[in-house]
Amino acid sequence: MTPCVYLPPTPPTFPLLTTDSASALTRLARLMLSVQTRHCPRLRSSPKEDAVSFLYPFPSAGPVVAPEARTHENRLGTARVNHHRAKQVNAMSKPIRKPVPILSPAQGPTPPPTPTHDSSHDRFRHTVNEISDPLSPRTLQDFLTIGEQSLRHLRQPSDLQLYRTALEHRVRTEPALRSVKSDIYFRILRLAALYNSLEVSISIQSKWVSRIHWGELRPVWAMVCGEQLGLRDLLAHGCYTFLLSVETRIKEALASPAGLAHSSIQDERGLLTSRLLTHVLSGYHSLRAFWSHLASHPLEFESAEGCEKHSQCVGAWNLRWVAAIRDKPCPLAEVDVLKRLMWLELGLAGDLLLGVCMETPCKVKALEAVKKKREVVSRQLHHHFVLP
């Protein structure tokens, strides 16, 4: 079939044009376009364009010039472009028909594709059921890895509850949690947040806090974990134990002419952010002020039942409280108020004058007040470190 050019608006009844005719018409149109461009400034092309753009499918082949100036190569290039456009126009003029499959009444419509069976989901459920068994040979590392990788396969709330139940059971019965490293605690707390298990979160935080107070684990990872997961109590106790380790450096930096800077108390691995270091410094000043106030203001306690000389008991208690703090030097750090309260409680419990001047029930009440104060301070450490 001879290639043609489709000039709009031409119905399909127009005769097809040969390549030579199309080339002649194209040259004629370009001559007309050059005349219009000279008399109509709006139609002139910009310096960066080859020619004026129109809605008609004229091939763009450089600036408009006279036909005599065209070389033989330009004519061949224009002929190839015209031939390509003719094929496109002829193809667009043909109606587009899609084959419609003819089905017999017995055959019916084509059924939808059957979804493939996801065997990975079944394997996950089988694995979780296996690790839920107390006699499962899976290690704690395998158990945590399964929980971290299984979120992509959880599709039903029952699946979420399945692993959460197994996680809670494993935390309650796993003896290795008493001696693992900080990264294991970090992973378990992250899983507890993902699977929304408050029981696991409280249990692991309690174990972690106890071990950093005992000196078995460094508090830096507890601070990082508490900040990332929003665990206020874990972060507060981590800041408290870290403060005890850098209290001497803080005092030396405050006494130096250069003053205190975050770099003077930064962890050796540089894991603590500027915000965490600011919380630590806030706790330093707050805890010192708290102990200074507590040393001059003895704790109050309720009168014991049957005590007839409660005013005498209160006077003896206040006198020995101040004497115990002033006369006996405390070997503990000034910001370590938790251990200082315990040290004070033990000292007052063995005070001979209190045993003579106070009624025994009142003395018991007074010592219980010291113990309760220590528990309250431990629960409210975040106030001293200005944590949200």
Q: Please tell me whether residues 241 and 322 are part of one structural domain.
A: yes
Domain contains 36: yes
Instruction: Kindly compute the dihedral angle of the four CA atoms of residues 238, 243, 244, 248, in this order, to the nearest 10 degrees.
Output: 160
How does pLDDT run across 207-223, given as a tens digit for each residue? 999 999 999 999 999 99
Residues 45 and 172 in one domain: no
Average the pLDDT over 255-278 and give the result: 82
Q: Kindly report, residue by residue over 363-380, the tens digit of the pLDDT.
A: 999 999 999 999 999 999
CA distance 195 to 321: 49
pLDDT of residue 85: 58
The gap from C-alpha 228 to its chain's centroid, in whole angstroms, comes to 7
Domain span at residue 160? 121-217
Residue 326 scores a pLDDT above 80: yes
- Of the candidates 125, 26, 124, the one whose C-alpha atom is nearest the C-alpha of residue 80 is 26
The reply to whether 151 and 45 lie within a common domain is: no
CB 64 within 8 A of CB 8: no
Say which DSSP state 332 is in: S
Total domain count, the chain:
3
Indicate the residue among 44, 71, 91 that finishes a domain. 91
Asked if residue 130 is part of any domain, the answer here is: yes
pLDDT digits (tens, 9 = 90+) for 280-293: 999 999 999 999 99
Q: How far apart are CA 28 and CA 26, in angstroms?
A: 5
Specify whether 204 is located in the same domain as 232. no
